[in-house]
Structure 1
């Protein structure tokens, strides 16, 4: 009798809603409190998740999974060594770029000022000259005061931001834990999902499995596709600027690639310093830089995104960016790691249950 009474009460949405919200609040509190442990676990799972397609491909070619894991670790070490050497080169160019920009900005200011001074009859010349002078002076002061010290702190050994970003790698115990956990997760990747699914009540398991597949399709397709697009845009910008003869081409390509993880942002971020550095080289070089960035924008919008992303995901870039920002604010690195999957799950739940519901279709 008591069981029937409980079931009757539990069916009431006004009872279930506070319980669910309470569980969510408890989960957030635990995630914040256990952030270092969760960071290690999520980092290891991310490595296993990214490695799983390659391991599956190797298994289909009759290579044992243990051997495949060794191959993946060797590839990861090689990529880490390559990334370290590239980071040193990019860091040097970024610091050089920050040091160049104030002087380049002054050269551009003098050029524009001379061009306007030669045309005193134009009615808007005086006001425009004053506005440009103020803008360039303030930008130059900001670069000298803030940007250069920030980049030096970012890229110097033991710099505060670099230390935060690579804290796991710089702490021996955490590094060993990530390595060991990732190896176990790569070995038993399929079992992890089955184990987590088995913890849920049996009636919920088909729904949870269906939702997890939908989230994996959206998140996996988006992340893998966006990384490929960012690499393509960064390579295009770096090679193009190097061929044109613009200084710090590698650093600008790096900026374009990293910020292009949020679609189209990288092209905009790298365009401004590229134009400033190309301005003293003449109008032809300036036009070539503009053409290069227009080419990158068109390639991303009309070729790369439709071809690589296709219909594998329906996550909007704004949704991804806002989700990551909210996750960082609430839970730091842990929040950033789980933000996009949770956003994909929320969108999936809205599409499958809220939009077809009587509440949405007919109103309250």
Structure 2
């Protein structure tokens, strides 16, 4: 209660000092007045309550056009966008692995569907496919590691002979060194503290191997889980679309998934061609372990852009243990094969698998690899196929009737 500045006048007409306490009768009157106000509010609330809205009728909404609301919503939008961008940047590595696993799961879905046609439970079909993939990778490693180690030992034993040939200007290596200064370039590249550089290089290689191994296991585990839950993921994605357009979205989505599956099959075919070609070349020139190296090239060729190049370098180094001319010829073979694969085999095979022009496949791989790296090159062709479907089914009909 607000006090007067000078005095408070009582009903008796006398003045009272503002510091004096109120009489008990006045305090009782104020309490009664407060109780009456609360009782009236309760009575009004009881009148407002009904069966449908027991908490009363809402008041008028806050105007969204008010300067305060416009500024508040704008600031909130900027903050949310910034935080979302920071989250995507921080989680980019995980998102890449997740995208790769989802792509592999969609690609393996036709194999799971084929097993399920014989009334096999989906969980069992997914387990069989997963065991087949893991068994193939494990079997390849079991076959490849011993010959790789043996060839590395043979190369280390022959390395002093290669060094001696470099200093002999009458030999092939000597003539190459005199022309291209190989020894000088290697010495300049190594330079400084050789032992510390070798130690740091070994540690860096170890980190790369551990990171690649962890990423591979992560992708395999995510692929298995996504493959098992793929029908549920599809239903969730289709549920997010409007009911009036849902049937058409389902048809387009299933067609895109089918093209991804056919792309994976086409990629396996190109890898098989690379493996068979490697086996025949190595067998013709007497390079050891042609079967294992052919399988290795086929597996590496599944990686777009860089896979066949890495495999060609490894095979050329192993061919160096036979002779330098054979190693050079093997390197030339892989350069020629890489050109044929990129501009003839992949456009033809992938063009038929996903039903898009060969030019579009080349442009898609180039743009995808440049913009998004390995994952972009991997999904470039199915992404181009998806864009082609969307254009034919949505944009072109509207433009034709515009």
C-alpha separation in 2, matches of 1:255 and 1:148: 28
1:233 aligns with 2:239: no
1:162 aligns with 2:209: yes
Q: Which has the higher contact order (CA 8 A, sep 6+)?
A: 1
Is this contact kept in 1: 2:342–2:362, CA < 8 A?
A: no
68, 83, 92: which is aligned to 2:125?
68
Unaligned runs of 5+ in 2: 1-63, 65-77
Once the two structures are superposed, what CA deviation does each residue of 1:249-281 show, in whole Å capped at 9, x if it has no partner?
656873685257436973697279738945974
C-alpha displacement of 1:160: 0.8
Is this contact kept in 2: 1:40–1:168, CA < 8 A?
A: yes
C-alpha separation in 2, matches of 1:54 and 1:187: 13
C-alpha displacement of 1:57: 1.1
C-alpha displacement of 1:232: 3.2
C-alpha separation in 1, matches of 2:225 and 2:337: 41
- Shift in alpha-carbon separation, 1:326–1:151, aligned structure 2, 3 A: farther
How many residues align? The count is 315
When normalised by structure 2's length, the TM-score is: 0.54
1:258 aligns with 2:300: yes
- Shift in alpha-carbon separation, 1:293–1:63, aligned structure 2, 3 A: same
C-alpha separation in 1, matches of 2:129 and 2:294: 30
Answer with 23-32 or 194-203: which moved more.
23-32
- 1:1-364 to structure 2, matched below 5 A, reads 29-35=86-92, 38=95, 41-42=98-99, 45-86=102-143, 88-89=145-146, 92=149, 113-114=169-170, 132-135=179-182, 137-138=184-185, 142=189, 159-168=206-215, 179=221, 185-202=226-243, 205=246, 208-209=249-250, 212-213=253-254, 215-238=256-279, 240-246=281-287, 254=296, 258=300, 261-262=303-304, 266=308, 270=312, 274=316, 277=319, 281=323, 285=326, 289=330, 300=341, 305=346, 308-313=349-354, 314=356, 316-317=361-362, 319-320=364-365, 322-328=367-373, 345=386
C-alpha displacement of 1:55: 1.6
C-alpha separation in 2, matches of 1:303 and 1:79: 28
More helix by share: 1
Larger radius of gyration: 2
Q: Secondary structure at the match of 1:233?
A: helix
Answer with 192-201 or 28-37: which moved more.
28-37
Q: Secondary structure at the match of 1:114?
A: coil
C-alpha separation in 2, matches of 1:211 and 1:24: 30
Once the two structures are superposed, what CA deviation does each residue of 1:84-142 show, in whole Å capped at 9, x if it has no partner?
3246347637856985897687577668x5389xxxxxxxx9xx985x23256425765
Is this contact kept in 1: 2:238–2:246, CA < 8 A?
A: yes
When normalised by structure 1's length, the TM-score is: 0.58
Q: Secondary structure at the match of 1:316?
A: helix
- Shift in alpha-carbon separation, 1:326–1:29, aligned structure 2, 3 A: farther
C-alpha separation in 1, matches of 2:336 and 2:252: 38
C-alpha separation in 1, matches of 2:307 and 2:224: 35
Unaligned runs of 5+ in 1: 1-5, 7-20, 117-124, 359-364
C-alpha displacement of 1:212: 3.6
- Shift in alpha-carbon separation, 1:336–1:311, aligned structure 2, 3 A: closer
Once the two structures are superposed, what CA deviation does each residue of 1:20-59 show, in whole Å capped at 9, x if it has no partner?
x999987654433444664675465345324321221112
- Shift in alpha-carbon separation, 1:160–1:32, aligned structure 2, 3 A: same
Is this contact kept in 1: 2:112–2:122, CA < 8 A?
A: yes
CA RMSD of aligned residues (A): 5.6
